[in-house]
């Protein structure tokens, strides 16, 4: 049987022969993940099961990133539950304080995820690691509790949609635009419980960080996973972050897909997801008259060092528009450190930006930039549901880092190429 990438990875982790999509298989997991919001629920479930120890203290990661630095007493209590559990179970990969960042940014940088892995997390954007060739998906906290206890879980082998990108990317168009365009084509439920497998010459030339940006938002199309073949570029990234022994992995030539889609990107513009769904996507030119009150650069989607560099190139020597709050949130200590060393933070400060420590911040309406009624924000985050970043009467537009920087300068949603 010629296998899709999803089938091939699942087969590596099960003793059951995979014979087709829709089959139920029991798989061993490589890593189990939870955060300061979801881990307390998983811990409560583990207690209820009578579990005394996690299956492997080196293959559970607990990342306190959503409401940290603790924004209030409730968030402090949540983190305390996770911290106490990590100490009790002697969890190796517990992150809080100076080593913490947005979970889906730090785990690749710490070499904890890679090609061929199965990663399950109590967070819907666990699919990010598909950019490294991992079958990575979000589960509910109860299922994650079982995975922490047993080291395995079950999956229905997903059907796969193959998405090919051809042509040459125009300037200021990148991974964020490709995934927004894809979601605009499929709709938010068009890939429900499907694997989105990305390929083509454009994908081959994308950076690993851009691939992770795309995989991160597979869930916004309803996808179970977003997958990229692990090539030499992937292996180089993994080696640079302390992983060794990984091998390339790709779908078999001639594998059977539920659906195939091919798009030529040569004439693409930056894409904007308008309120209040990620599939309400338009080219930037169609929304260039929209004034904003806030711009957010960060998140597990676009808070990596490559994103900060892209935005800094646009805003260098310019100023944030009067009346606009430009909030810059490096997604990891590594990205923050490199941005400091490279002078990017100075560029942002000189422009009039607010710089936050690594955190999820306002992305889920947590803290560090909550919107009031009637306010609009353009963000490099991944969701723009009603009330996602604050008031139910606020609006969020999603875009790439270059558009974010240009918009911060003008106060209107702006194509970076028009700044001159």
Q: pLDDT tens digits, residue range 14-31? A: 999 999 999 999 999 999
18 within some domain = no
DSSP string, 77-137: HHHHHHHHHHHHHT-SEEE-GGG---HHHHHHHTT---TT-EEEESSGGGGGGGGGT-EEE
Co-location of 299 and 220 in the same domain: no
Task: Measure the CA–CA gap between 30 and 9, rounded to whole angstroms.
Answer: 11
Neighbours of 82 (CB within 10 A): 25
179 within some domain = yes
Tell me the mean pLDDT in the region 352-368.
Answer: 93
The structure tokens listed for 406 are 């240009």
Among 263, 293, 318, which residue terminates a domain? 263
Over the stretch 139-155, which tens digit does the pLDDT of each residue have?
999 999 999 999 999 99
Tell me the mean pLDDT in the region 60-75.
Answer: 94
Work out the burial of residue 74: count CB atoms within 10 Å of its CB; fewer than 13 is exposed, 13-18 middle, 19 or more buried.
exposed
Task: Measure the CA–CA gap between 299 and 157, rounded to whole angstroms.
Answer: 30
User: Residues 279, 352: contact at Cβ < 8 Å?
Assistant: no
356 within some domain = yes
Residue 45 has pLDDT above 90, yes or no: yes
Q: Kindly report the length of the chain.
A: 420
Task: Measure the CA–CA gap between 175 and 210, rounded to whole angstroms.
Answer: 5
Co-location of 259 and 311 in the same domain: no
Query: How many helices and strands (H and E) does the chain possess?
Result: 14, 18
Co-location of 256 and 278 in the same domain: no
**Which range, of 121-130, 273-282, 312-321, 359-368, averages the lowest pLDDT?**
359-368
Percent of the chain, pLDDT > 70? 100
Tell me the mean pLDDT in the region 323-349.
Answer: 98
Total domains in the chain come to: 2
255 within some domain = yes
The structure tokens listed for 397 are 């537009």
19 within some domain = no
User: Residues 210, 174: contact at Cβ < 8 Å?
Assistant: yes
Reference 299, options 385, 387, 370, 358; nearest CA is 358
Co-location of 82 and 231 in the same domain: yes
DSSP string, 157-224: PPPEEEEEEES-PPTT--HHHHHHHHHHHH-TTTTTT-EEEEESHHHHHS-HHHHHHHHHTGGGGT-S
Over the stretch 224-280, which tens digit does the pLDDT of each residue have?
999 999 999 999 999 999 999 999 999 999 999 999 999 999 999 999 999 999 999
Tell me the mean pLDDT in the region 369-391.
Answer: 95
86 within some domain = yes
Residue 134 has pLDDT above 90, yes or no: yes
Over the stretch 398-420, which tens digit does the pLDDT of each residue have?
999 999 999 999 999 999 999 97
Co-location of 200 and 302 in the same domain: no
Co-location of 253 and 319 in the same domain: no
User: Residues 380, 301: contact at Cβ < 8 Å?
Assistant: yes
Contacts of 249 (CB under 8 A, 6+ apart): 5, 8, 9, 115, 116, 133, 229, 230
Instruction: Provide φ and ψ at 309, rounded to 5°.
Output: -60, -45
Residue 344 has pLDDT above 90, yes or no: yes
Percent of the chain, pLDDT > 90? 97
| Whole-number pLDDT of residue 141 | 94
Neighbours of 204 (CB within 10 A): 12
> What does the angle CA 221 – CA 224 – CA 228 come to, to the nearest 5 degrees?
90
The three-state secondary structure class of 283 is strand
Co-location of 229 and 365 in the same domain: no
How remote is the C-alpha of 234 from its chain's centroid? 17
Tell me the mean pLDDT in the region 92-112.
Answer: 96
Residue 187 has pLDDT above 90, yes or no: yes
Q: What is the mean pLDDT of the chain?
A: 96
User: Residues 249, 133: contact at Cβ < 8 Å?
Assistant: yes
Co-location of 305 and 398 in the same domain: yes
Among 235, 263, 291, which residue terminates a domain? 263
Task: Measure the CA–CA gap between 218 and 224, rounded to whole angstroms.
Answer: 7
Task: Measure the CA–CA gap between 125 and 299, rounded to whole angstroms.
Answer: 11
Co-location of 216 and 287 in the same domain: no
Look up the CATH number of the domain holding residue 403.
Answer: 3.30.499.10
The neighbouring-strand residues paired with 226 are: 196
Among 213, 245, 263, which residue terminates a domain? 263
Residue 152 structural domain: 5-13+24-263
| Whole-number pLDDT of residue 1 | 86
């Amino acid at each position: 049987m010629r296998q899709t990438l999803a089938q091939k990875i699942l087969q590596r982790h099960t003793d059951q022969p995979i014979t087709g999509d829709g089959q139920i298989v029991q798989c061993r997991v490589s890593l189990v993940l939870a955060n300061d919001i979801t881990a307390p629920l998983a811990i409560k479930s583990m207690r209820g099961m009578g579990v005394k120890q996690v299956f492997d203290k080196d293959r559970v990661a607990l990342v306190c990133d959503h409401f940290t630095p603790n924004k209030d007493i409730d968030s402090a209590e949540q983190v305390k539950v996770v911290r106490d559990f990590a100490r009790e179970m002697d969890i190796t990969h517990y992150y809080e304080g100076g080593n913490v960042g947005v979970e889906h940014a730090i785990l690749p940088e710490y070499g904890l995820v890679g090609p061929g892995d199965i990663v399950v997390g109590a967070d819907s954007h666990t699919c990010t690691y598909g950019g490294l060739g991992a079958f990575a998906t979000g589960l509910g906290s109860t299922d994650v509790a079982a995975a922490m206890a047993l080291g395995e879980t079950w999956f229905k082998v997903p059907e796969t949609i193959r998405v090919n990108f051809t042509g040459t990317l125009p300037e200021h168009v990148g991974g964020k635009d490709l995934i927004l365009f894809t979601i605009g084509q499929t709709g938010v439920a068009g890939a429900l419980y499907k694997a989105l497998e990305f390929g083509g010459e454009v994908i081959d030339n994308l950076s690993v960080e851009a691939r992770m940006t795309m995989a991160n938002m597979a869930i916004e199309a309803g996808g179970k996973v977003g997958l990229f073949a692990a090539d030499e570029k992937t292996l180089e990234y993994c080696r640079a972050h302390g992983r060794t022994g990984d091998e390339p992995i790709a779908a078999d030539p001639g594998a059977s897909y539920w659906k195939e889609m091919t798009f030529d990107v040569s004439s693409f513009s930056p894409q904007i997801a308008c309120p209040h769904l990620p599939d309400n996507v338009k080219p930037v030119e169609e929304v260039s008259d929209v004034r904003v009150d806030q711009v957010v650069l960060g998140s597990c989607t676009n808070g990596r060092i490559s994103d900060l560099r892209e935005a800094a190139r646009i805003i260098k020597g310019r100023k944030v528009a009067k009346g606009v709050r430009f909030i810059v949130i490096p997604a990891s200590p590594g990205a923050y450190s490199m941005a400091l060393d490279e002078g990017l933070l100075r560029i942002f400060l000189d422009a009039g930006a607010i710089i936050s420590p690594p955190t999820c911040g306002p992305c889920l309406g947590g803290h560090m930039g909550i919107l009031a009624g009637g306010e609009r924000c353009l963000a490099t985050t991944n969701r723009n549901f009603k009330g996602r970043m604050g008031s139910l009467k606020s609006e969020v537009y999603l875009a790439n880092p270059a558009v974010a920087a240009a918009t911060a300068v003008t106060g209107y949603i702006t194509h970076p190429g028009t700044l001159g």
